[in-house]
Amino acid sequence: MQAQIIDAVNDNYYVRVNICPSVLTVRFNDVVTLGSTQLIGVTNTLPFDNITIDTNNITISYCWTGPYVKSRSFNYIIYQDTSGTGIGVYDTATVSLSFANTDSIYPGDFNKDGIVNNIDLLGFAKNFRNTGLYRFGGSSINFLDYYGQDWDTVSNFNGSSINAKYADFNGTGLVDSNDLQAYYRNYNKSYRTPTPITPTVGGPYLRIENSASMDTFFDGNTLQLNVVLGSNTDTIRDILGIAYTISYDSTCIAPNTGDTAVRVQYSTTSNFFITPTNYLYSNIESIRHKEIQTAIASSNKTGTDGAGIVGNIVVVLDDYIDGNIKSPGLYPLIFRVKDVVAIKSNGDRIPVQAQNTIFYYKKTGTNIASERCANWTIYPNPASDILMINSSCVTNATIKIMNMYGQLIDTFEMNTADTNYSLANYASGIYQVLIQEEGSIETKTLVIQH
């Protein structure tokens, strides 16, 4: 809290500021003869101005008790006599108090990055059930800047020290589920240009996996996806929560199950680091931008080791593509993961890599694929130098290799039951192998590691 005096007449003053329940004291530092000089009055005040006048020492004790404001001002008059008649006015001036707004609390924005989003849920979970002083001016969830005294609890969050008072979104002095009303009400609201999210380098992957064995889908198929973090060989230590965004192509998703119902579902029976009684989550879908902002965190402030499923997505596919019924063909359906922030129980950020996933929607006019030669296998997977492609019968097939963005990298013909394919010129990453026979298409996900 800061204060300054403006428009002072004839005199030099300084202001000493203390926060309520102490008071702000205005002292007049001047060559005033105290004998007959008296501070007689203060004007331009409001009901929340709590002002006490000490006429002997010519001081004003000031305390603002109303809702948080950025500034207040009042006028004073000093007389040279004690009659209070207004004869012999020695000085008048306006005292303007400017309260510092660097300590502003915007309900919902825990990490003070300028916007309320899914990352703020992680800081909220880290401070869940903490208590402290109620917010100055009372409880409110309106998206305004409020002042509140610091709590005793200070959190490390992504390398910054953030006072627990910022997790008290409604200002009641307790971080609990009631604060979520302010969080959802103010979601995506900003008060300045938001600070961009800096991706981490290295660490386990956060990716989308299909729970079925196939990667190609047809009209009416239900796409059941798992959001997976890490693997058996690349585990997480002490994870408290994770926030991330998934963008998707909704043009192949049935409207009745898609644009208004795409969600990451969190199941306590499958998520590896939460239990039925200790988690908080949020799902916000932006239909305009075709993306889901979501977060999941443990509310008991205890981290968990492991890896596996974090959430699930279920959508139904149809042939309504770009607003038009397209001709038969193969259309990529890409799910992109971005803006991943994962934290430990102490607030440190966990390095996590985002990984995009591509599936294929096949427009056939029917839900039944044509007969094909046989099942196909590719191995080893992950592969490094050579990829084996095998079929149980001799066939004529076209093999296409595509990257995670759906771009064609290579294509070749195969007319034998098996073949060897060199991976020497491929960078490490995720690829799709499309096997096209007459009347059928099969896709395989390939991981290349050098």
8 Å CB contact between 42 and 26: no
Query: Which pLDDT score, from 0 to 100, does residue 371 have?
Result: 47
Cβ neighbors of 437 (< 8 A, separation 6 or more) are: 372, 373, 395, 396, 397
177 and 211 share a domain? no
Query: Which pLDDT score, from 0 to 100, does residue 31 have?
Result: 40
Average pLDDT rounded to a whole number, residues 163-173: 95
- pLDDT(393) > 50: yes
8 Å CB contact between 292 and 244: no
The whole domain housing 147 covers 119-185
Return the SS3 of 313: strand
For residue 341, which of 213, 195, 224 has the smallest C-alpha distance? 195
Mean per-residue pLDDT over the chain, rounded: 78
Of the listed ranges 74-83, 155-164, 259-268, the least confidently predicted one is: 74-83
Instruction: Please count the structural domains in the chain.
Output: 4
303 and 209 share a domain? yes
Q: What is the rounded distance in angstroms from the CA atom of residue 313 to the CA atom of residue 311?
A: 7
Range among 90-104, 152-166, 276-290, 319-333 with highest mean pLDDT value: 152-166
Q: Is residue 5 part of a domain?
A: no
Q: Which residue has the higher pLDDT, 151 or 10?
A: 151
- pLDDT(2) > 50: no
Cβ neighbors of 187 (< 8 A, separation 6 or more) are: 108, 116, 117, 282, 284
Could you list the beta-strand ranges (E) of 364-417.
Answer: 376-379, 386-391, 397-403, 408-414
pLDDT band at 10 (very low <50, low <70, confident <90, very high): very low
Q: Which residue has the higher pLDDT, 417 or 122?
A: 122
In 150-290, alpha helices (H):
180-185
- pLDDT(29) > 80: no
Q: Is residue 46 part of a domain?
A: yes
Q: Residue 121: enclosing H or E segment and its boundaries? A: helix 119-126
Q: What is the CATH number of the domain that holds 254?
A: 2.60.40.680
Type of residue found at 377: T
For residue 282, which of 270, 269, 299, 302 has the smallest C-alpha distance? 299
Q: Is residue 410 part of a domain?
A: yes
Q: Which residue has the higher pLDDT, 243 or 220?
A: 243
Query: Which pLDDT score, from 0 to 100, does residue 327 have?
Result: 65
84 and 219 share a domain? no
405 and 302 share a domain? no
For residue 357, which of 198, 199, 226 has the smallest C-alpha distance? 226
Q: Is residue 322 part of a domain?
A: yes
Looking at the DSSP bridge assignments, the partners of residue 241 are 297, 343
Query: Which pLDDT score, from 0 to 100, does residue 370 have?
Result: 44
127-154 burial string, b = 16+ CB within 10 Å, else e? Answer: bbebbbebbbbebbbebeebbbeebebe
The pair of structure tokens assigned to 123 is 């800081």
Digit-coded pLDDT (tens) for 356-381: 888 777 766 544 344 455 578 888 88
Q: Which residue has the higher pLDDT, 365 or 48?
A: 48
Could you list the beta-strand ranges (E) of 144-210.
Answer: 154-157, 160-163, 205-210
pLDDT band at 286 (very low <50, low <70, confident <90, very high): confident
67 and 164 share a domain? no
Domain boundary among 68, 98, 128: 98
